[in-house]
Amino acid sequence: MKKSKFGFALSLLAAGSILAACGAGDKAEDSNKDEGKTASEGGDFSVAMVTDTGSVDDKSFNQSAWEGIQAFGKDNGLEKGNGGYDYLESTSDADYNQNLNNLLRRDFDLVFGIGFMMGDAMLEVAEQQPDAQLAIVDAVADAPNVTSILFKEQEGAFLAGVVAAEMSKTGKVGFVGGMENEVIKRFEAGFLAGVEAVNPDIKVDVQYTGDFNKAELGKTSANRMYSSGVDIIFHAAGGAGNGVFTEAKERKEKDPNADVWVIGVDSDQYDEGQVDADTNVTLTSMLKRVDVAVKDVATKTKEGNFPGGTVVYGLAENGVDLADSRGAIPQEVLDSVEDYKTKIINGEVKIPETVE
């Protein structure tokens, strides 16, 4: 079986190992807020980000954003800290406003908020500090000093649906979402469309956990699906998706012949599916290239071209894709995916943004 990589050969994928998390102390500590730009020798532009309530090393959304920040820092000779690049973690919604203001007081030139849940806090801070340059991922904050970064999740999810439909042996596949919102609904809509494009007779079980951080809820959903005959689950559930992997791995450990697969999300989640040295339950992952978008917006802002308004990243902009399948997917299926990818980029195939 010939191995093949999905995606565009981008140099900024996996920008080194994740630096140790700052922890709650960084978030609350303002003692260095007046130090200004002293940590970097690489230039006069600094950038930082605030995570949502998932950790910076969540193997998903926040981690991808942080990798983009690190890649930008490396390319521009910056160091971690004031005057370079940094992050603060949020443990609750109440932290968003405080963390954004903390980084602005530390004089970072561009500050990102990662996740739609930060939308209200971002807009409030933007209005209070009109000279600040801000950016938010997965939400629209209608202020002139905010760049709102959105993705065509439906395009990448469509490709995941094509893979699931082509690979399913039972004729039943599943989708596990976190909280129901416009972003996750785009994942669901694209996945359903991809499955239907291959085989409209395949049944798709859709379940939402209602939470992005509780792995036990994802595990429960996966247990119900696999028990009902689903053999491939695509999750867009953040940390709750880790429970989907746990359920699949436990089943594979009990029965090495069990046909259970997971399609990961946001980052390449191959490592999450590792059962033993020879077995992995990750079929592929739908990459949501937050790292690409963050680095692109930071680069443009550094060059004096702060985008402002809304920018959208899809297949054509390298914003979504599928990860390397490590040989788990046959070449004929890979060829089918590449064909659909070309048609989507060329506008021959339109992917719906809503389930309706």
Q: Say what the pLDDT of residue 43 is.
A: 59
Give the C-alpha separation, 187 to 82, whole Å. Answer: 36
Q: What is the pLDDT of residues 210-224, one digit of tens each?
A: 999 899 999 999 999
Average pLDDT over residues 230-255: 97
What contacts 168, CB < 8 A, 6 or more positions away?
A: 202, 231, 232
* CA dist list (Å): 67 to 11, 143, 263: 12, 26, 21
How many alpha carbons fall within 13 Å on the CB side of residue 200?
A: 0
- pLDDT level of residue 3 (50, 70, 90 thresholds): very low
In the chain, ranges of CATH 3.40.50.2300 domains = 24-151+290-317, 153-288+326-345
Q: Which two tokens stand for residue 102?
A: 């903390």
Q: What is the pLDDT of residues 277-324, one digit of tens each?
A: 999 999 999 999 999 999 999 999 999 999 999 999 999 999 999 999
**pLDDT at residue 42 is higher than 50:** no
Q: What is the pLDDT of residues 69-118, one digit of tens each?
A: 999 999 999 999 999 999 999 999 999 999 999 999 999 999 999 999 99
Q: pTM value?
A: 0.84
The pLDDT > 90 percentage for the chain reads 83
Q: Which two tokens stand for residue 350?
A: 């339109």
Q: Which two tokens stand for residue 295?
A: 């680095």
Length of the chain: 356
* Helix H or strand E segment including 313: strand 309-313
Instruction: Return the CATH number of 153-288+326-345, one of 3.40.50.300, 3.30.9.10, 3.40.50.2300, 3.40.50.1220.
Output: 3.40.50.2300
* Helix H or strand E segment including 126: helix 119-128
Instruction: Return the CATH number of 24-151+290-317, one of 3.30.930.10, 2.120.10.30, 3.40.50.2300, 3.30.70.1560.
Output: 3.40.50.2300
Q: What is the pLDDT of residues 154-170, one digit of tens each?
A: 999 999 999 999 999 99
Q: Say what the pLDDT of residue 31 is.
A: 35
Q: If you average pLDDT over every residue of the chain, what do you get?
A: 89
